[in-house]
Amino acid sequence: MTKNPMIEEAKKARLKAYTPYSKFKVGAALKTVDGDIYHGCNIENAAYSMCNCAERTALFSAYAQGIHAFESLTVIADTDRPVSPCGACRQVISELCEADMPIVLANLNGDTFLTSPKELLPGAFLSDDLKEE
């Protein structure tokens, strides 16, 4: 069986997670159209609302470097089924990624699910919905 290099990158990112409270580590690997890979991991805080998910960490890291064009996103966690992004991550992915960009959701057992931003959040609220006065 051939290993998917993006799943391997997401696994590396997962190992960087800071999860002293939940112990639930998530990793994300975001591939740019130029082939660069940005890692993201979840980062917890004692003030729980200040936590950040792996998907958003990867996207925010890329955006902070001026990168806005992505080829794919892969997310992995130790779950029974392929890990699913939370609602906040779905919203951010919908706004910052192309609607048809491939997203691979995975778990450590080797299960995967291929989806896209438009499938993760149909009817997403996007910048086009904001009206200028």
Which positions make up the binding site for substrate? Answer: 42-48
Report how far Cα 127 is from the mean position of its chain's Cα atoms: 20
Question: Is the four-CA dihedral 62, 5, 112, 77 of positive or negative sign?
Answer: negative
Out of 55, 71, 98, 133, the active site residue is: 55
Interatomic CA distance for residues 91 and 8, integer angstroms: 25
Annotated binding site: 42-48, 53, 86, 89
Annotated binding site for Zn(2+): 53, 86, 89
Query: Exposed/middle/buried for 41, CB within 10 Å: 0-12, 13-18, 19+?
Result: buried
Judge whether 95 counts as a catalytic residue: no
Catalytic residues, which ones?
A: 55
